[in-house]
Amino acid sequence: MNSPPTIVVVGSPNAGKSTLVNRLSGSRQAVVHETPGVTRDRKDVEVDWEGCLMRMVDTGGYDTAEESPFAGHIREQIELAIAGADVVLFVVDGRAGPLTDDFEIAEVLRRRRVPVVLAANKIDDPGAVSAAQELYQLGFGEPLLVSSTHGLGTADLLDRLVEESGAERPGEAGPSDAPAEIPVAIVGRPNAGKSSLFNAIVGEPRTIVSEIAGTTRDAIDTAVTTEEGTFRFIDTAGMRKAAKVSGVEYYSYLRSVQSLDRAHVAVIVVDATMRFGELDLSICTEAARNHCATVIVVNKTDIAEADIEEIAGIARRKLRQRPIVIPVSAVTHRGVRQLLTEIASLEARFVAHISTGELNRALATLAADRPLPMKRGKRLKMYYIAQFGTSPPRFAIEVNDRTLVTRDFGFFVENRLRARFELDGVPLVIDFKGKK
């Protein structure tokens, strides 16, 4: 596999570079402070966008004032970084418009003949972009409008960086050109038939690719390729309530929970011979808490009849993700193919990016369908929504005052987004951001 492309982030002091790098990488590795010029040396972080890896280099503020402390050292570090860049992310303050420093940086970049992506940062209100229009003067085309604080526009920016840098998408590279694997944890109460279902999935001829024993996880991961996709299944020990386990059983429980950290999709196996109860619901909740997409599988339907409609109704009432319910038999292989199809579908929605336009049309519709909450004579206003992350999908909604958002209204928004974009079973992270 080739090494990930290098994205060098440049800009004038306090353009918000480090905050943007932290937002794009989902970390806090770059130091952020209100005082301009905090970042002096280059800082490397890894960015993973939908499986595409990029190496992002945060640099100090490019300051043209000779009397500025460390100015010469910082400019030297920036020019060295640019020399090794596959793409330069040029960050400017979209509210202030182009500064003297920005024009000098633009001149340096033109001499280097390196691909440049221009980002107008600090655009917390997309309706107020008058200053951003002046950035055309820098000569790098239309700037991408982003807010590193709220995450608005960052998904579009990452898409552009992947496109410009040629970052390898999952399955595009490597000696075997193997498709991306979907990590799946099979969890459930003891004796629900998890291992039998696991064997039914991986035991078919032509499907097993490899078995890898986890060095620290004490679990067997099995990679499987079928017509529905390529999966990495993680078989786990039965899960009881944490308060009721001890000793070795407790560590098995912990390993089961840890398997959810590695999974995109959790298959919750339910025993058809037993009542769908609180333990099953708590396992579903644990998977959701670990940001896994979920599907409920009712096993042993070859020996017992389960009321699938009743279980689905309970799941819809009591579980925020509203997972679908699939009857299966590990013995007869009934429902196994439907399960694999649903896992592949959940993964596609788990990593998908919804356009900002579609999201804002959905926001306008749901706002018109129900009166917005009001406290002490002040009514909630929703200005804008954008997706700022995937795996799981993460959304930011800018509002006039986040204290006006009630728990009930938050659930209403989540449920409407699920219905509009077919996200049942997928965890959603929705941040309501107060307007400054």
Q: Could you read off the pLDDT of 91-128 as tens digits, one per residue?
A: 998 888 888 888 888 888 888 778 999 999 888 765 55
Give me the pLDDT at residue 9, please.
92
Distance CA 326, CA 1 (A): 38
Q: How far is CA 164 from CA 51, 81, 155, 158, 222, in A?
A: 16, 17, 14, 10, 35
Give me the pLDDT at residue 195, please.
81
- The average pLDDT across 238-258 equals 56
Q: Could you read off the pLDDT of 299-342 as tens digits, one per residue?
A: 999 999 999 999 999 999 999 999 999 999 999 999 999 999 99
Contact 364, 347 (CB under 8 A): no
Contact 285, 319 (CB under 8 A): yes
pTM above 0.75, yes or no: no
Contact 424, 321 (CB under 8 A): yes
Distance CA 149, CA 147 (A): 5
Contact 279, 240 (CB under 8 A): yes
Q: How far is CA 369 from CA 224, 317, 399, 413, in A?
A: 45, 21, 17, 11
Least confident piece of the model among 118-122, 168-172, 265-269: 168-172
Q: Could you read off the pLDDT of 344-392 as tens digits, one per residue?
A: 999 999 999 898 889 999 999 999 999 999 999 999 999 999 988 888 9
Distance CA 120, CA 389 (A): 19
Query: What count of residues does the chain have?
Result: 436
Distance CA 153, CA 59 (A): 21
Give me the pLDDT at residue 116, please.
92
Bridge partner residues of 374 (DSSP):
379
Domains and CATH numbers, the chain: 6-165 (3.40.50.300), 182-350 (3.40.50.300), 356-434 (3.30.300.20)
Give me the pLDDT at residue 128, please.
53
Distance CA 152, CA 135 (A): 19
pLDDT band of residue 395 (cuts 50, 70, 90) is: very high
Distance CA 393, CA 362 (A): 16
